[in-house]
Chain A
Amino acid sequence: MGKRGTREYTFWTAGLAAVIVAALFPVLWLLMLSLKTPDTIGDGRFIPEKFTLENYTSLFDGGFDSPLLRPLINSVAIALIATTIAIVLASFTAYAIARLDFPGRRAILGGALAIAMFPPISTVGPLFDMWRTLGIYDTYLGLIIPYLTFALPLAIYTLVAFFREIPWELEQAAQVDGATPFQAFTKVIAPLAAPGMFTAAILVFIFCWNDFVFAISLTSTDSSRTVPAAIAFFTGESQFTAPTGNIAAAAILVTIPIIVFVLIFQRRIVAGLTSGAVKG
């Protein structure tokens, strides 16, 4: 027993260690790369010989004309606005689907699923042409609209799964006890629905934060370009220097918010990712 226990323990320790290293090593490698000086960036060492924050500070040299400040503001603003609108619209729809009986419910869910599978590149050309005609090419709105569309299915599925679990009878029970419909909603239903909405919001935010196809196709300047697109177009200080250190530093900066989210809200993220797929 004791021997078997030790063997099993060793087996699991090795397995878990392998998983954790495989998951985190590429990020750590990028972090170390971002801390290297230009002359040691090509040395192939994991731990930098000399540490420097130069790669980070130079990203913000020049304020709004700096390589990263505007894109960072754009990324945060566009993702937040798109997430807020998506969650509001999706909660209306998800409430209707989870609670009301009306023809077309299944068609909406089916349509949302179809859109979740839709190839974004197929809409890039027409949107490019339409946005230029409408004058919203290279604006926040031009990115918010497609993000909203492609985030809605994710939000609707997550919210429907959560809303179906809410004991809605409590609303009537509260009204029987003398609460007004408004009180019943704000004091009873809203607190129960909030965790689901928050989960959906995190998933949608990660989705918007991650987009690259729309960000490089529907923008042309830093006035609305988001960080992933900006990083891809970084240039070195001269024609002969590669912007490796700056790209690594910017990449680490956009990764930090996601890692913070993941650490704080991991249970919710896992529940949200799997709720729609399993319970249906």
Chain B
Amino acid sequence: MAVNVPAPQEQAVVRTGGLSERARAERKLGWMLSAPAVAAMLLVTAYPIGYAFVLSLQKKDLRFPDESGFVGLDNYGAVLSSDLWWSSLFNTAFIAVVSVVIELVIGMALAMIMHRAIFGRGAVRTSVLVPYGIVTVVAAFAWFYAFDPGSGFVNGLPFVDDDKAWFGERWSAMAVIIAAEVWKTTPFMALLLLAGLTTIDETLYEAAKVDGATWWQRFTKITLPLMKPAILVALLFRTLDAFRVFDSIFVMTRGSQDTESISIVGYNQLISRLNLGLGSAVSVLIFLVVFAIAAFFVRGLGTRTPGEA
């Protein structure tokens, strides 16, 4: 009965009359079953972000507990006028944009290989799940040791400077960080795209072939337009995920050589320096940046988030 739940508009029409006993019981059961999960989700997100906002308006440094007090928006002023915040925001955006663009291209190619391969599909799927499942810290160490002159093999490759210190300079360090991110998360992108690819009706390609469309025309006129919803969802998830970049940077540089991401800056203020006031201002700003990106995808690009079907 309730397997195919009618669309909300229809329900609204039905609901204009009084609720039956049964409907009321169903409502109550629905709420009771959902309550524990909803409470658990709010406890660790809504409440802390509210608390972070309160902390961000105070001077609160656990190293100097006597100097606490209300300071209004001073912490935000301090963060927003610092070079560190803007350079970390730039780094985060740079890492996110570059890695997501590369992942989209490689992920699309991977999805098409998995979709069209005449043999070996299973082998590819199994092997791409390894980077997906691997712990991010482990992936970061694998890439770090490969490039580190003390243990790595990269400097021994042809055309690479034998004593290049990859993590001693900003852009080469960023390149390795991005490479590790791309390796770790492209499989996720590819699987989401593959799911979108399998929903496309094969007969469209047959018809286009009969009409003489080239491979490139079929890709740009059929595949891409029909996959737009799947691509946007994949981009939304991966962009927000990339904006949280923390593990790889922590392992590889700890933020030295100007490679801090906004998450690293937040961690350093909160946990390393125990400056809860200033750190909370960073937390709230990160939240607002992420919120703005999500709003841009959903409102601006019309991304249909899962569950809206």
Contact = CB atoms under 8 A, between A and B. Distances in A.
Given A44-B152, A113-B307, A117-B294, A127 B141 contact: no
Contact of A266 (B44, B129, B283): B129
A23 B131 contact: yes
A123 B51 CA distance: 9
Contact of A124 (B33, B43, B117, B270): B270
Contacts of A81: none
Nearest to B233: A277
Contacts of B270: 124-125, 128, 217
A146 B276 CA distance: 19
30 contacts: A12-B118, A16-B123, A26-B143, A97-B30, A101-B5, A102-B30, A106-B8, A110-B305, A117-B236, A118-B290, A119-B243, A121-B286, A123-B52, A126-B49, A126-B55, A128-B271, A152-B41, A157-B306, A157-B307, A168-B2, A210-B136, A212-B250, A213-B267, A216-B267, A228-B138, A232-B251, A251-B142, A274-B194, A278-B199, A278-B306
Contacts of A146: 44
Contacts of B276: 125, 128-129
Interface residues of B, number: 105
B40 interface: yes
A248 B145 CA distance: 9
B48 interface: yes
B48 A127 contact: yes
Contacts of B117: 12, 15-16
B271 A99 contact: no
A167 B271 contact: no
Interface of A is mostly: helix
Interface string B131-162: 11111111101110110001111011000000
Given A15-B117, A251-B141, A273-B188, 7 more contacts: A44-B151, A101-B26, A125-B280, A153-B41, A157-B307, A270-B191, A280-B308
Interface of A: 8-9, 12-13, 15-16, 19-20, 22-24, 26-27, 29-30, 33, 41-42, 44-46, 89-90, 92-93, 95-106, 108-115, 117-130, 145-146, 148-150, 152-153, 156-157, 160, 164, 166-169, 206, 209-210, 212-213, 216-217, 227-228, 231-232, 242, 244, 247-248, 251, 254-255, 258-259, 261-263, 266, 269-270, 273-274, 276-280
Interface string B251-292: 100000000001100110011000010011001101100100
A104 B41 contact: no
A248 to B, nearest CB: 7
B44 A27 contact: no
B124 interface: yes
